[in-house]
Amino acid sequence: MEDKEYQMYVNKFLKEYEIISVKKYHNLVRVDLRPGEHWSKCTFIFTENHIACFGDIAAYTWRTTWNAAKFILQGTCNAKDFLYLSEKLEHYSELKEFEFSDEIMKKIKEYLTDGLEEDELEEFNKKWDDNYYLLYNVDEHRLNELDEFFEELGVDDYYEFYSWFQHLQDRYYIAVAILRCIEDYFSKQLITKEKLTNGK
């Protein structure tokens, strides 16, 4: 999912979300909500070392290095730092999907040719064109030709480019967008509480 599509969900849900119930226990907070008008209930549970969600989205679990139950009540669960939170996602490697595309290959080519002299660029482009046929059958189950393609180009550490083709399911981005709503809810609760405490 493109960043702008994810941001679209964040913006939409922040305007539409409805908190159904919040239950607080010792080191556990449960939040039931509807992220939007046409959604059923989603449940998020925050504990000392985990965040979990289920309901009208796929089930995900994050193993946190902070007390998630305590911090969500302060309006944060690191959902704004998308990459950092993704590193805490359990079964991250199993949830990633590999999708080969010519568009990504074009970006890789731009990256690899950045700064090449004219004669080097000409040689690289010839190798690229001569070996591109190797990529016709590449998919998530047949990556050997991708390895061979990069080897023919003389690219070291080509496996690092695999992450360029990997992405998480669209529903994961939606789950993080919903987490942003929960952060928003508790942040507003804190602001209201501070105003009442200060008599404003």
pLDDT band at 40 (very low <50, low <70, confident <90, very high): very high
Q: Report the percent of the chain where pLDDT is more than 70.
A: 96
Tell me, yes or no, whether 14 and 89 share the same domain.
yes
Q: Is 74 left (phi over 0), alpha (psi -120 to 50) or beta?
A: alpha
Residue 64 to residue 56: CA distance in whole angstroms: 23
Tell me, yes or no, whether 9 and 72 share the same domain.
yes
Q: Side-chain half-sphere of 89: how many Cα atoms within 13 Å? A: 23
Tell me, yes or no, whether 187 and 142 share the same domain.
no
Determine the pLDDT at residue 100.
87
Which amino acid is present at 131? N
Tell me, yes or no, whether 112 and 172 share the same domain.
no
Determine the pLDDT at residue 138.
85
Tell me, yes or no, whether 15 and 73 share the same domain.
yes
What are φ and ψ of residue 26, in 5° steps?
-65, 115
Residue 163 has pLDDT above 80, yes or no: no
Residue 2 has pLDDT above 90, yes or no: no
The interaxial angle of helices 118-131 and 144-153, nearest 10 deg, is 150
Tell me, yes or no, whether 37 and 69 share the same domain.
yes
Question: What CA dihedral angle connects 4, 7, 8 and 12, to 10 degrees?
Answer: -170
Report yes or no: 62 and 89 within 8 Å, Cβ to Cβ: yes
Determine the pLDDT at residue 152.
92
Tell me, yes or no, whether 15 and 66 share the same domain.
yes
What are the beta bridge partners of residue 55?
42
Determine the pLDDT at residue 17.
96
Full domain range(s) for residue 144? 97-167
Q: pTM above the 0.85 mark? A: no
Domain count of the chain? 2
What are φ and ψ of residue 154, in 5° steps?
80, 30
Report yes or no: 58 and 98 within 8 Å, Cβ to Cβ: no
pLDDT (mean) for 9-32: 96
pLDDT in tens, 46-71: 999 999 999 988 899 999 999 999 99
Tell me, yes or no, whether 57 and 155 share the same domain.
no
Residue 9 has pLDDT above 80, yes or no: yes
pLDDT in tens, 97-151: 788 888 989 999 999 999 999 999 999 999 999 999 999 888 766 777 888 999 9
